[in-house]
Structure 1
Amino acid sequence: MFVLAGHVVGSCWYLFGLQRVNQCLQDACSNLSCRKFIDCGDGHNIDKFQNMLDWQDWINDSSSTDCFNSQGHFSYGIYSQAVLLSTRGSIITRYLYSLFWGFQQISTLAGNQVPSYFEGEVLFTMAIVGLGLLLFALLIGNMQNFLQALGRRKLEMQLRRRDVEQWMSHRRLPEGLRRQVRQAERFSWAATRGVNEEELLENLPEDLQRDIRRHFFKFLKKVRLFTLMDEPIIDAMCEKLKQKFYIRGSDIFYQRGPVEKMVFIVRGKVQSIGVDGNTASLSEGDVCGEELLTWYLENSSVHKDGGKIRFPGHRLFSTRTVKCLTNVEAFALRAADLEEVTVLFARFLRNPRVQGAIRYESPYWRNIAAIRIQVAWKYRQMRLKRG
């Protein structure tokens, strides 16, 4: 808006300046014959005018030549610089200087200009002052809203930190745990800026929610498993994904602990450590806990009426430790939600290509395969020795 206003004011100033020069020349004409030299539109016939007797009188007339002197008898007021600018310089110089003049007057509210007694010039100066005040008021209003938004976010952050400190003090947490809680709170706040995305999305139309979730979870396409899936399955998973944050040193899974979620890594680095000490690095686009999907497919069945047959007491336990090497931002798919997805799309998920993709990309299944190969090799060596 400031740049546009500078262009408008500068252009009007140069145009009105030319009009004032034209008015001065009109006033300087002592007879009607010289008026054909003003705004004649016959610049291509300049030779014809030069041969006229009136031409020499016109160019030698002191009152006419004095119109191109800003300090002459004609009062130009705020257009004095426009008079000099119209007689010299290229079109680029005229454009840049007019733009500069417009910026300067808007910024200073025309405080350094003294108009003449010409009514149009006075009104133009008043318009510049009003436009400058309007832009200045808009600037102040926007800055105030911006600072209030920053102050509100800062106040929310301070109140939350105070509540967390009071809670930790009430629960008498040790200092080590308090440091980890503070670090997790800082990382969570920096990643979300205090905005509850789930609450925000719930107030939007369903089709818009679906499009936004597809944009959020474009990283799913980086996982080979999901490149084989249709859009309805991906949409169903996207609706269930929940944002999670882990700080450096946290364990997403630990050995002999229950596997209750699939975790899709969005940002950060993770290390998977198997029972035998084998390690695998995971980063953006990788998945951990994917064995939960296969486990649900292999350890459940469905009634004829579509109802789920549950096996009480059956749970999947982790055979590896997944530790965060850096602060990690991820999305998690809980076991209950994953179970619902497997019921809806069980036929597709049991496809051999999908099962092969799960086992090929999964560090868990690679570790299982390595263990089974080692066991088979040992048994073979034992049979060879007996033979």
Structure 2
Amino acid sequence: MSKYNGSNGDTSMGNSIVMSSMVNDVNSPEAQGRPMLGKQELGELQASNKWKWPEVEEILSYLNPWWNTILVSSCVIAVLFDPLFFYIPLIKEEEKCMGIDNQARTAALVLRSVTDIPFLVHIIYKLNDAITAASKVPRDTNPNSESGLVSRVQNLQMVQFVKACSRKLSWRSFLTDVLAVFPIPQLLMVGLFFNLGGSNYLLKRKILSSFLLLQYLPRIYRIYLSSITMTHSVLWVKAAFNLFLYILACHILGAFWYFFSIQRETSCWYQSCITSQPESKCTFYCHHGTTISVELNTTLNHNCVLKVPYYTNDPPFDFGIFFDALKNDIQGPINLQHKLVYCFWWGLRNLSNFGTNLQTSTHLLENTFAILISVTGLLLFLYLIGNLQIYIANATTKAEEAKAEEVREKFETKRHDIENWMTQNGLEEDMKAEIRRNIKQKLEEDISVDLDDIISILPWYTRKPLKRALCMNTLRRVPMLNNMDEKVLKLMCDYLKPMKYQENHLVFKMGDPLDRMVFITEGVMWTYKAATESTGEAIGLPTSASIDTNVLKKGDSYGHELLLYASSYYKIPTSPKNLLCHTKVEAFVLMANDLTDIVNKCKSKKLWSLDNDASNDEARDRF
């Protein structure tokens, strides 16, 4: 039994080996028509499938759409944090020396270094891009030239290379970036400011302060260059940018005020010190480790008094606009956040009123600083007003465009009906063009105007020739007006009034006073003699019992009896028949009193003449 099982096991194992080898043969590269890979090639393939670091070009292509935003954000953050350099100095009033705020210095250096990184990357990228583009410019190389010619050719190639680089660089943007990243505040405030001394100490400090102020120009100009792209931005982006500029100006002016207040007090110390001490000993740096004498301390307290008694109107030294900072000991070793908030509030308060409340001394730089505050506030205000005007203009333009589009859509919906109406009435092309122009103008004035009543929305100077074009032929078809002068007919057209009647409307009931003549321009009316309801409301169609039924349509008229009334001053006639609108009717009516005015005007000029035969026929038909 064991042998039998063993043989079966060997058989099954052999079968599985055969099957697996067959499967492997089927899946092998040879079976699929591919060459077999060696171990080295297989290892390289596996290594190539591993994740690799992206190349520089891939990173730049990914960041390119966002790079301008990154630069603007870096500028914004840098300009916001750069004023921290002005908070590095502080005054120790008891020791009469100028020390260093280590918290402000650390924060300023770290934040400035971080915000400079995008600028450095941008500068390196621009240089690399220009060098790469310039290296592709073909240059003349000849290895068989003589040694003297080779050096000349190399020099010429170098000049060509430099020119090609300069053409590829945008120098204005490039120099702005270089100046913006240049470490002026780090060198001046941390390296030089606390080591000034010797002769002309105040002059040196003024020059250094000027460089500190000028270092803001490249960064602000870089923000301006990048913010030009926000011209077509959404409204909230523009509003946020305007608010940022205002807050930034308040922050920077507050930092300047703090920095200048320290310099103003140390200037007072210096001027009091040099009267009794050598100039080299009047620098007042705390880190020098020197202490002033009691006598000099008393002199400084007397000459540079900060707590002025109420009875003193003329203090020994006028600190001007910096007195509030010194009086409140803002320049002392207090918390940095308190300094920032108080100085920001001072900048906001004085920038909002354009510096009108500042009480300055006669010091030149102090007055220059006050003028700078006033001009900055005015420019920001004008910038805001300009943006508001641009926004209002854009909003107005958009509203006008939307209204024009709405007018166009409404006109297009009725255009077919209007064109058909003008064509059916046989209007000339000049009249059609004038009607279209007047309709569009009316729609621009009032989009809710009813285009179903075209005549009523036209101005009088267009309506007048239109009525003559529509009704002259209808008037000529009136029998009693056959011999009437054309001037009279035109005058009658001028007095016509447009009217619309709904279907089944009873215009006249037999026996009603005939107070108007009706000239049909569109639709169908019926005249008939039959018993009607006394209400005078619209009645149904005349029955088979109705007699003397006539159909009036376009070009027909009703109420000729009024001509006899106006000519002979008869009593007001009555309607001999019922006048019923079979369909919707558009017509012109001539009121009885208007016809009387026309007759009086024309009789005075001997223009009124009715056709007597037609008048007799009308009278005979009536009676």
User: What TM-score results when the alignment is normalised by the length of structure 2?
Assistant: 0.25
The structure number with the bigger radius of gyration is 2
Q: If the length of structure 1 is used for normalisation, what is the TM-score?
A: 0.38
